[in-house]
Structure 1
Amino acid sequence: MLSFAVISQDTDIINYIQFYLESECANQMIPLYVFPNFYCFLTEANFRKINVLIIDTDLECWKENTVRIYKDFPYMNIIFVGSNLEVGYKVYDIRHFAFIYKKELIPYFPDALSRLRSELKIKDKNTIRISWKNVVYVLYEQDIIYFERDKRKTMVHMMDGTEYTTYKHIDEFEKTVSDDFMRIHFSYLVNLQYVKEYHRNHLFLSDDSFVPISRKYEKGVKEYFEK
């Protein structure tokens, strides 16, 4: 189930989104977290499981703060709303799902949400299966931060902090996962969506892990991040 947050001080926008979510899904509770500014979001968002974020581009420094949000929450699906079409083109400098003019929010928000859900369903089809101690786990690729090989075992590190272990070799995972993943070391296969910082000899990931880049993969990783 999707969980929503809004960063805005515009009560009309907040009330409409709340009304729409409540009317669309009357039989289930859909969380909507409201933050009046970026500071509040960045301070509290770690304690919420939010996957859809609506950002008001009428707020000051919205662009710089969105870049920061993506560093901390690279999996976030962002929808921009704004009353100034002249700044609308600036959203295309940043990865986002949609930009909606505030005056057209009522007709266009439901459509944007429908398209987002369809896209996420496609992503959800990308799964892997691992077995450990006679238990089979089905994991969504988009929730995996990285694979780590340690001797005869492979650890799968998840977005929510969970860690799964399997005897399946990391090479086998590399053959089957999507292009979102890149091998950066004999022992590491990383989901690029969770990279916060690139350095010549290591990556800094969204769970605050540092993973090394070996010489064998250094050139390919550099070409990807510096293209």
Structure 2
Amino acid sequence: MLKIGIYDDDAQVVQSLTRMIDEVWDSDYRIYTWLNVTEMESCLVDDLRGELDVLFLDIQLKDTNGIAFAKRIAERCPYLKIVYFTGYIEYCQSIFDGKPSGFLLKPIEADRLRSTLERVAEEVEQERKSCLDVQVQKHMLRILTKDIQYLESEKRIVRIVTRESDAVEVYQKLTALAEQLPDNFLRCHQSFLVNLDYVRRFEGDHFELYSGEEIPVSKQRQKATRESFFRYIEGQL
């Protein structure tokens, strides 16, 4: 499902764009709309943090500058796609300061809107394949799989250890998370999934990571782990 946000301080513009999306987009989607920038920002960083895929944002607003807002929100919602729309052609150059995922000139053409949605949806799908989506309390968190060193499970709590931040703890089964991860993640123990990209050495009963940490390999999985690790090494050569 593509989750789409629309913000403009003109209710008619919001309604018009909502109707156009309904007409041109036949894939599964959900639309969220706002007329107040404070309410929108609060919703994006709290209720919908990590969940909204794309935000259609007017550049010329009464209560804020759309480009400045986009820069601010990108710091908190780095995976959110921003599509600007405006009736003022002079903004075409300045929008690139806000790293847009699209630009639509009013009046918005149906074909341009459809092609923009198609491109954004493809980008989102590709990112979902390279990310692990987990629920932390009431929020969804998206973690780049390339940043994950390993996952450790203990009594239904899984610690996701990344290379740069503190571990993220989620209430979920390790098996369910394993299904979302690419082939370079190996289940070497009932309680551990290791990203082989971070493995420095295989010692039979454990992996040594570049960080110096050791990940255990259970006796029952040693043979399969060895074979999988060697296949991984061969694939890197």
The TM-score by the shorter chain falls in which range? 0.5 to 0.7
Q: Is the 8 A contact 2:4 2:55 kept in 1?
A: yes
Where in structure 1 are there 5+ consecutive unaligned residues? 129-141, 176-183, 188-227
Q: CA deviation digits over 1:138-179, x for unaligned, max 9?
A: xxxx93155366999983279x97466551335x1548xxxx
- Matches of 2:13 and 2:82, distance apart in 1: 15
For residue 107 of structure 1, report the CA deviation from its aligned partner. Answer: 3.2
Q: Is the 8 A contact 1:81 1:100 kept in 2?
A: yes
Where in structure 2 are there 5+ consecutive unaligned residues? 133-140, 163-167, 175-190, 200-209, 214-237
- Matches of 1:87 and 1:185, distance apart in 2: 47
When residues 127 and 64 of structure 1 are mapped into structure 2, their CA distance, relative to the original with a 3 A threshold, is: closer
1:23 matched residue in structure 2: 23
Number of residue pairs matched? 164
Q: What letter matches 1:44 in structure 2?
A: C
1:201 matched residue in structure 2: none
When residues 155 and 62 of structure 1 are mapped into structure 2, their CA distance, relative to the original with a 3 A threshold, is: same
Q: CA deviation digits over 1:10-65, x for unaligned, max 9?
A: 3443123221333356796x322211132111122221332111110011322221
- Matches of 2:151 and 2:131, distance apart in 1: 22
2:183 matched residue in structure 1: none
- Residue identity (%): 14
- Matches of 2:15 and 2:105, distance apart in 1: 16
Q: What letter matches 2:21 in structure 1?
A: L
Of 53, 68, 74 in structure 1, the residue corresponding to residue 72 of structure 2 is 68
Of 52, 55, 59 in structure 1, the residue corresponding to residue 57 of structure 2 is 55
- Matches of 2:126 and 2:27, distance apart in 1: 24
2:99 matched residue in structure 1: 95
- Matches of 2:153 and 2:91, distance apart in 1: 53
When residues 27 and 127 of structure 1 are mapped into structure 2, their CA distance, relative to the original with a 3 A threshold, is: closer
- Matches of 2:18 and 2:197, distance apart in 1: 41
- Matches of 1:38 and 1:63, distance apart in 2: 13
- Matches of 1:38 and 1:185, distance apart in 2: 43
When residues 53 and 66 of structure 1 are mapped into structure 2, their CA distance, relative to the original with a 3 A threshold, is: same
- Matches of 2:8 and 2:70, distance apart in 1: 13
Q: Tell whether 2:107 aligns with 1:106.
A: no
- Matches of 2:36 and 2:92, distance apart in 1: 19
Q: Superposition pairs for residues 109-124 of structure 1, below 5 Å?
A: 109-124=113-128
For residue 122 of structure 1, report the CA deviation from its aligned partner. Answer: 3.0
For residue 92 of structure 1, report the CA deviation from its aligned partner. Answer: 0.6
- Matches of 2:52 and 2:152, distance apart in 1: 35
Match of 1:104, SS state, is coil
For residue 109 of structure 1, report the CA deviation from its aligned partner. Answer: 0.9
What TM-score results when the alignment is normalised by the length of structure 1? 0.58
